[in-house]
Amino acid sequence: METVLEIHLPNLLDNFQAIKSKISPQTKVLAVVKAVAYGSSVPAITKCLELAGVDYFAVAYVSEGVALRKAGIKTPILVLHPQIGNLEKAIQYDLEPSLYSFRILTAFSNIVQQNSIGKYPVHLKFNTGLNRLGFSEKELEKLKKSFYQKDLKLVSIFSHLAATEDPKEKEFTKKQLEIFARISSHFDATPIRHVLNTSGILNYPEAQFDMVRTGIGLYGFGNDLKFDKELKPVVSLKTVISQIHTLNKGESLGYNRAFVADKKTKIGTLPIGHADGIGRQYGNGNGSVYIQSKPAKIIGNVCMDMIMVDITAIDCEEGDEVLIFAEDVQTADSFAKQANTISYEILTALSERIKRKLIVKP
């Protein structure tokens, strides 16, 4: 056995259906598959969702969209954060860019005209309060005049909500929704409108407009315990005990002697480290893995390729399986919280050198 990330496709499909059950039958679903499909597998995840009938995919960058096309994906792909240097490649691979500033709107329009391409599909991104990317409401009239002089086809207008998972920020979220609704009303030939993310789908279903976007929800997390119960984690990270050591009182472990035994202690060394996505915020007692259904604390400093765990109270042997996160022990979300981070960071940091294994049957 070796370190492996199991990808449970039946759970992915169950999550897709669970999310669809929260929206109207006519509402489209866009699946966010950026960052290697949240650290899992682009070909496996996208092909599964394409067969399930997803309406759109979204990636962050053009290179990610190219990878989907090379994997054989035919479904429309929205590129959320394209860079000017890659716009020609976006056209080459039939990717639909989000235009979020006058600079990128002009650059893309020029490329379309230079290549004599008529009515290329694009999406307009509006900033309603997240303040990362997007045209502002006050730029709307100038934008409309500029956009409709270009030879482009407007497929959708969208925005991104800042705090849909936080009940303390309901007023802020409602303000964002009001701004987006006002912006939407300015477009005569109504394009697809979308603003909700996973938490938005669950907490603000009345604002689903024409399409919703879901990323983390597809992978099994709803950013709320009550919604997590309706979803199933898609990935499980497993490894193995490479070697077992016994430390006597006073002996140290690992780099910088970060752990010194205060009693006789049995240690298991595992073949996974910060190069695989288990950051240095773990270790020294932060975070546990599971061996024989029992928690084993991560001790000492996390190394590039190894972590060490305290197995003093666990009856185990070299070669035994270790669960870092899995549906039946601790999820990626609960593992993340042990180091004061979030499931997004843990999942998307998983190294591509970790072997991926597809689970296709429940």
pLDDT for position 220: 96
Confidence of residue 16 (pLDDT cuts 50, 70, 90): very high
Q: Is pLDDT of 189 > 80?
A: no
Average pLDDT, the chain: 95
Spatial CB neighbours of 272, under 8 Å, sequence gap ≥ 6? 3, 239, 278, 305, 306, 307, 324, 354
> Long-range CB contacts (< 8 A, 24+ apart) of 172-181?
172/129, 173/200, 173/204, 175/129, 176/128, 176/129, 176/130, 177/128, 177/204, 177/207, 179/126, 179/128, 179/129, 179/137, 180/126, 180/128
Mean pLDDT of 53-71: 97
Mean pLDDT of 275-302: 96
Spatial CB neighbours of 179, under 8 Å, sequence gap ≥ 6? 126, 128, 129, 137, 159
pLDDT for position 187: 86
Confidence of residue 274 (pLDDT cuts 50, 70, 90): very high
Mean pLDDT of 330-355: 95
pLDDT for position 149: 83
pLDDT tens string 214-258: 999 999 999 887 888 899 999 999 999 999 999 999 999 999 999
pLDDT for position 223: 82
Mean pLDDT of 346-362: 95
Question: Residue 42 and residue 302: Cα distance in Å, rounded?
Answer: 28
Q: Is pLDDT of 299 > 90?
A: yes
At 106, list the tokens: 């002009």
Instruction: Report the run of H or E that residue 48 belongs to, with start and end.
Output: helix 42-52
Strands 243-247 and 265-270: antiparallel
Q: What is the DSSP letter of 168?
A: G
Question: Considering only the top CATH level, what class is 235-359?
Answer: mainly beta
Q: Is pLDDT of 352 > 80?
A: yes
Q: How many helices (H) and strands (E) does the chain have?
A: 12, 19
Q: Which of 45, 330, 98, 346 is nearest to 214 (CA)?
A: 45
pLDDT for position 227: 83
pLDDT tens string 135-174: 999 999 999 989 988 889 999 999 999 999 999 999 999 9
Would you give the end-to-end CA distance of the chain in angstroms? 22
Domain boundaries, the chain: 9-220, 235-359
Confidence of residue 120 (pLDDT cuts 50, 70, 90): very high
Q: Is pLDDT of 188 > 80?
A: no
The pLDDT > 90 percentage for the chain reads 92
Distances (CA, A) of 327 to 168, 241, 324: 29, 20, 10
Give the active site residues: 34, 255
- How many Cα atoms are found within 13 Å in the side-chain-facing hemisphere of 31? 31
> What's the per-residue H, E or C state across 311-360?
CCCCCCCCCCEEEEECCCCCCHHHHHHCCCCCHHHHHHCCCCCCEEEEEC
Q: Is pLDDT of 89 > 80?
A: yes
Give the range among 23-32, 143-152, 259-268, 282-291 with minimum mean pLDDT.
143-152
pLDDT for position 118: 82
Q: Which CATH superfamily is domain 9-220 in?
A: Alanine racemase (3.20.20.10)
With beta carbons less than 8 A apart as the criterion, state whether 349 and 277 touch.
Answer: yes
pLDDT for position 226: 81
